[in-house]
Amino acid sequence: MASDSSGGAPKKLSTQEILAKARAEAAKKAAGAEAAPAPAAEQAAAPEPVAKPAPVTEPAKAPVAAGAKPKSTAEILAAARAAKAGAAAPAATAPAPTAPKPAPKPAAAGGSKSTADILAAARANKAGGAAPPAAATPAADKPAAKPAAAKPVVAAAAAVSDVSVEEMLAAVRPGGAVAKTVAAEQPVAAPKVAPPMPPRPVVAPKPAAKKGAAETRRGFMVVLAMLASPFFIAWAAVTATAGVWTLGLARFMLPNVLTEPPSKFKIGPPTDYDLGTVATKWVAQFGIWIVHTDQYKSKNLIYALASVCTHLGCTPSWLEGERKFKCPCHGSGFYITGVNFEGPAPRPLERVGIRLSEDGMLEVDKSVKFQEEMGQWNDGASFFEVTA
């Protein structure tokens, strides 16, 4: 953030930058009014405009860090904080509210300890001074939650006493949690007036070991509690509902009554169908033509063609004058035999099953299909040969 804006002439300010600036000024004013913490408030305001074009120079003016040559903004910030902590501790607690994001994870704030961190800590140490340890906590709630934010924490904490970095981190961790709540409660008001000192974080390591001992005894209760938790109840409800819906869908696929025509039906005796004709009377009801022709392999056949175009499924019309089936959608044409010859249809019309039933009637079975290109038209079930 800071390194981005450190170079180059100041251009248009983004909303965030303007806000930060305004806040800084407001903080200055407030500081002016309350005479006592004035310098501290100035210091507190300084780290705020992290995204401002010239944040580098401002903290560099800090009395303590002035001697050391600043390397990065983060380091300067750390130094400034440490100095401030040394000089006027109570006021040093200004959090940087630039982005009221939810407070970072404590681990993120305290966990990273790069070389830069240690450097910053060392610097802070040099700066020395007895600052109230609480200075660490507001710093920990800096929304950025990046190493830049973490460094001041370490630095400030280090300024408190000569403890190792690890110890400091341990101290900061629970403190971060406390600060989180504080920051969440008053994120806007914080910068204007230096917030009251949060209580010193109680450095009481979590009783992790105890838990393991308790587990065996309370295991059953824990399981019960988990089952009763809203999370599990909600998911169980969702699963149950979805399951019922799925079952209902499955039931829907098996209707009580089928309104569609049966797939097997009688169409009258073969004598109803004269040679060289296409009967269109079954199209509307069953979607088939009954064709009686001797043009397919010179055999005298009656067969049933499904009235579905093999191109895209429209219903072709039988044109008596032109002796062809013609599809109105894309112009596919089929001979009386059902073989495609014009337009885009890639294959002949499909035959459905036909047979002479025991009572001398032709019976069509729409549940079976016979495709010419698969050689299925030779199947005896696909036609009825008239032997006159």
Q: How far apart are the first and last CA of the chain?
A: 97
Helix (H, G, I), strand (E, B) or coil at 351: strand
For the CB of residue 282, give the shortest distance to other proteins in the complex, in Å.
9
For the CB of residue 335, give the shortest distance to other proteins in the complex, in Å.
11
CA distance 275 to 279: 11
| Block residue for tokens 């002035």 | 66
Q: Name which of 10 and 261 has its Cβ closer to other proteins.
A: 261
For the CB of residue 345, give the shortest distance to other proteins in the complex, in Å.
9
Q: Name which of 274 and 322 has its Cβ closer to other proteins.
A: 322
Residues 6+ positions from 340 with CB-CB distance below 8 Å: 310, 332, 333, 334, 346, 347, 348, 349
Q: Name which of 248 and 380 has its Cβ closer to other proteins.
A: 380
Angle between helices 115-127 and 147-160 (to 10 degrees): 40
Say how many CA atoms lie within 13 Å of 90 toward its Cβ.
9
Q: Of the candidates 168, 114, 119, which has an alpha carbon nearest to the alpha carbon of residue 139?
A: 168
Q: Name which of 7 and 380 has its Cβ closer to other proteins.
A: 380
For the CB of residue 280, give the shortest distance to other proteins in the complex, in Å.
11
Burial of 123 (C-beta count, 10 Å sphere; 0-12/13-18/19+): buried
Q: Which residues here bind other proteins, judged by CB under 8 A? A: 283-285, 287, 307, 311-312, 314-317, 319, 321-322, 326-331, 333, 341-344, 346-347, 373-375, 378
For the CB of residue 285, give the shortest distance to other proteins in the complex, in Å.
8
- What the block records as the tokens of 302 is 């009656």
For the CB of residue 373, give the shortest distance to other proteins in the complex, in Å.
4
Q: Name which of 260 and 359 has its Cβ closer to other proteins.
A: 260
Q: Name which of 63 and 344 has its Cβ closer to other proteins.
A: 344
CB 136 within 8 A of CB 78: no
Q: Name which of 209 and 284 has its Cβ closer to other proteins.
A: 284
CA distance 199 to 178: 9
For the CB of residue 279, give the shortest distance to other proteins in the complex, in Å.
14
Distances (CA, A) of 262 to 118, 136, 258: 85, 82, 9
Q: Name which of 118 and 329 has its Cβ closer to other proteins.
A: 329
CA distance 111 to 283: 78
For the CB of residue 365, give the shortest distance to other proteins in the complex, in Å.
18
